[in-house]
Structure 1
Amino acid sequence: MVRIKKVALLLFSVLGILLVATGCGQKDQDKTVKVGISSADAPIWKVVQKQVKKDHIKLKVVEFNDYNQPNTALSQGEVDINSFQHQFFLDAWNKAHHSDIVSIGVTMIQPMAIYSHKLKSLTAIKPGAKVALPNDASNEARALQLLESAGLIRLSPAKDNLPTPKNVRENKLNLKFNVLDAAQTAHSLNDVDFAVVNGNVARSAKLTAKDRIYIEKVSKKSKPWINIIAVQKKNKDNATYKKIVKAYQTEAVLKAVKKLYGPQSVAAWKIKL
């Protein structure tokens, strides 16, 4: 009887060791991935974090407050992937910094909009009004095209489809352009008459629909402004990173995006432009 108890005890001990070893092995399989994002998008990436747990991916979110740091961090290996920019911004960044960052999947289109603390409509804009625009080439071009679609200016054709203030051929209201870092456009509203602001920047600054007097319409022209998940080129086929893209492109994440940014947000993976 004593011998049987000893054998049973031994078996339970071995089973316990195996369970612990299996648990450790499972834990060791978890892959940690650092993603650089705009701080405004943090609630969205909390959902993605939950989505990738089933794939044994531990997603660590690194937040940035401007548009320069995320690509620098990615190029230097401080983060593994990032998600904050559209394709035009990335193309301009790669050209200016001789980097080789590439897209591995689309996320959302966050419509850019005109905001004001002083005006209630486009018709209230007076001659000589001051307008804040993002100063990076891609977002500045997008802002100018938005002003054109709002009927405030007319642009002449631009090389590489990236207009600058030099391409403004008609400016009947003699608008005065103040170019700022994209992250600062929303904070300039007390100093200008209106500003053209990116969606995530508007969210960070707690701007609401009440502050908005015009919003970008999503069309075929919007394709360059689709937001993406990006990696260093050498990692473009990384299976783990692709699982994160797949986890982003879900209804749970879309629900979080619309809750955060409003119904105007568009899931890029669901549309054809």
Structure 2
Amino acid sequence: MTIPRIALNSGTSIPQLGLGTSPLNDAEVERAVIEALEIGYRHIDTAVRYGNEVGVGRGISDSGVPREEVFVTTKLDGEFQGDDRAIAGLDASLDRLGLDYVDLLLIHWPLPARDDFVSTWKTFAKLQTAGRTRAIGVSNFKPAHLDRLIADTGITPAVNQIQLNPYVTRHEQREYNAEHGIVTESWSPLGAGGDLLTSSLLARIGAKYDKTPGQVVIRWHLDNGLVVIPKSQNAERLAQNLDVFDFALDADDLAEIATLDQGPGAGVDSDASGH
């Protein structure tokens, strides 16, 4: 099975479905990454803040899948914002991962009160030029933050990873990203706390296709052109999350799912996100 890929403005491409790894520890994530890669995943998402880059790296190495076939994302948090702190930050991440480069490096959140995200972005550009990362992007950035990055540096992020699911749809942010050639990637794609997956509406739609509510939600992300990174360490759930390429939601399904939207105030404030 081949997972579809979406082109990035860096000239590379990203698998549309990947494995999220928060909040797994090193031992848990190592097993999950091996299992995921064995059944066909080719995209692994981690971060310094997750504290599991060592386990992610071990899982990739132990899986036997060639490095060039695995798309690896990591994120640098506030400790590495400002001046050229991101250089040492990525060096340490690569050491923990046991890799020479990552495929995508993200600023984990803007922290606008510190006003260091533009200087950090300039350092990210240096890291991309040096071949330490194939693409650069951001996480939890609002349009105002992106406007500033682009205006001050002339460099548009390849990806903006934001909290996004049928409860938290962020239409305006998605439209902004699309207009600027930024790929939108969904974190917490199955919702928080499990409430979304108990929706009778999603269960009814799933019954049409012999799919679970979770599979319907993942398909919703795919059908909306989003990159989606559900997280699990359960082998059965990992396989279920991947088994979403033999159906597509129709217009009526999408219209019904749209009624789940809880409005623009839903979700985590990106300025204070701990994702």
Larger radius of gyration: 1
Q: What TM-score, normalized to structure 1?
A: 0.25
TM-score using structure 2 length = 0.25
Which one has a larger percent strand, Structure 1 or Structure 2? 1
User: RCO (CA 8 Å, sep 6+): is it higher in 1 or 2?
Assistant: 1
